[in-house]
Chain A
Amino acid sequence: DAGVIQSPRHEVTEMGQEVTLRCKPISGHDYLFWYRQTMMRGLELLIYFNNNVPIDDSGMPEDRFSAKMPNASFSTLKIQPSEPRDSAVYFCASSLSRVAGELFFGEGSRLTVL
């Protein structure tokens, strides 16, 4: 089975532009997580979904960030407008509810905002 697939792998954009990151979870997984990784703050949970429903978005830094999961096989994380401090690696992960804490991570999307 394919793992978690994220796109794009790398994104370079200018401040003020809209950025959309995409994730396809592992088929059959009912939880999906978006994490952000930076040198300064480490790994931060931004938001997670269960059965396509957002459960906890308390980690979303501000209103410029939004995430959706229109169906079980696709999720997006959008930043509008982007700022240089949003530069980070964004990871998507999925898991099965009956296997506590065993997350499967994608390879990440490295975002650079100039």
Chain B
Amino acid sequence: AQSVTQLGSHVSVSEGALVLLRCNYSSSVPPYLFWYVQYPNQGLQLLLKYTSAATLVKGINGFEAEFKKSETSFHLTKPSAHMSDAAEYFCAVSDDGGTSYGKLTFGQGTILTVHP
């Protein structure tokens, strides 16, 4: 069975600083990996996804993530944080080659706080 571990339930950065949200996965087959963002009182929306193409994946709002098989990691980064990035971020994995198209296992989430 697949699983995802997000290191750090809360991350706080200053506006303009680097954002790094950590995600490690466990999967018995080549995984599909995703990052979703949830703003207060809203549903989740897809930031980016890795589906076995390029290992460096670019998403919306300046975020990107790099798939590292040797480290079983898929960390999310953004060079310069903006106040509007404050939200909860979820890493997710699908370990069946995507054939279930959305049967995702989500991590526990990381709340990002951005200070002025």
A-side residues, CB < 8 A to B, are 4, 31, 33, 42-43, 45, 48, 55-56, 91, 93, 95-108
Q: Measured between alpha carbons, how far is A93 from B101 in the docked complex, in Å?
A: 12
Q: Mark B82-100, 1 if CB is under 8 A from A, else 0.
A: 0000000010101000101
CB nearest to B50 among chain A residues? A101
Query: Which A residues lie within 8 Å of B46 (CB)?
Result: 101-103
Asked if A33 and B45 make an inter-chain contact with CB atoms under 8 angstroms apart, the answer reads: no
Q: Which 9 A-B residue pairings sit nearest by Cβ, starting from the closest?
A: A105-B43, A100-B98, A43-B106, A105-B44, A95-B102, A42-B108, A97-B101, A103-B102, A107-B43
Q: Measured between alpha carbons, how far is A4 from B42 in the docked complex, in Å?
A: 12
Asked if A101 and B51 make an inter-chain contact with CB atoms under 8 angstroms apart, the answer reads: yes
Chain A CB within 10 A, most for which of B36, B90, B100, B105: B100
Cross-interface CB contact of B44 among A45, A91, A100, cutoff 8 Å: A91
Known: A95-B101, A101-B34. 15 other contacts (CB 8 A): A31-B102, A42-B106, A42-B108, A43-B44, A43-B109, A45-B105, A48-B100, A97-B101, A100-B51, A100-B98, A101-B32, A103-B44, A103-B102, A107-B43, A108-B43
* Contact A106-B43, Cβ < 8 Å, known A42-B107, A48-B102, A101-B94: yes
**A to B CB contacts below 8 Å, 30 in the list:** A4-B43, A31-B101, A33-B102, A42-B107, A42-B108, A43-B44, A43-B109, A45-B105, A48-B100, A55-B100, A56-B103, A93-B43, A95-B101, A96-B101, A97-B101, A99-B101, A100-B51, A101-B51, A101-B92, A101-B94, A101-B101, A101-B104, A103-B36, A103-B46, A103-B102, A105-B44, A105-B45, A106-B43, A108-B41, A108-B43
Q: Measured between alpha carbons, how far is A95 from B32 in the docked complex, in Å?
A: 15
Q: Measured between alpha carbons, how far is A17 from B84 in the docked complex, in Å?
A: 40
A90 CB to closest chain B CB, in angstroms?
A: 11
B23 CB to closest chain A CB, in angstroms?
A: 14
CB nearest to B94 among chain A residues? A101
